[in-house]
Structure 1
């Protein structure tokens, strides 16, 4: 995903805010960026084929990582 597509992720203040919110919600910034990238890749398409499956895969990985933590 080109960094300048999502402006909040392209600016230091925005990234810091997103990082803080991600930390509060126990989601890693890389996973958040991956979710955003999947959505951005679908922009302009009439049918968002595969979007929900991609979201499920990413969110499942997050849940697995959380369950691995003692």
Structure 2
């Protein structure tokens, strides 16, 4: 489940459920920084940056949509 959120920093794709959270806790770089971010960048034409991550204790994962 994902949604678009906007605040003073910009527009974000927010993901509140992680189907691979257990694996991501031990392989964060491979799952969060590579797999998930690469998928989001592919959808947006390489215009995304991971800003929040549930593995780091954040409430949700958030990718900033770059202009």
TM-score by length of 2: 0.32
Query: Greater relative contact order: 1 or 2 (C-alpha under 8 angstroms, separation 6 or more)?
Result: 2
The higher radius of gyration belongs to 1
Q: Which has the higher helix share?
A: 1
Q: Which has the higher strand share?
A: 2
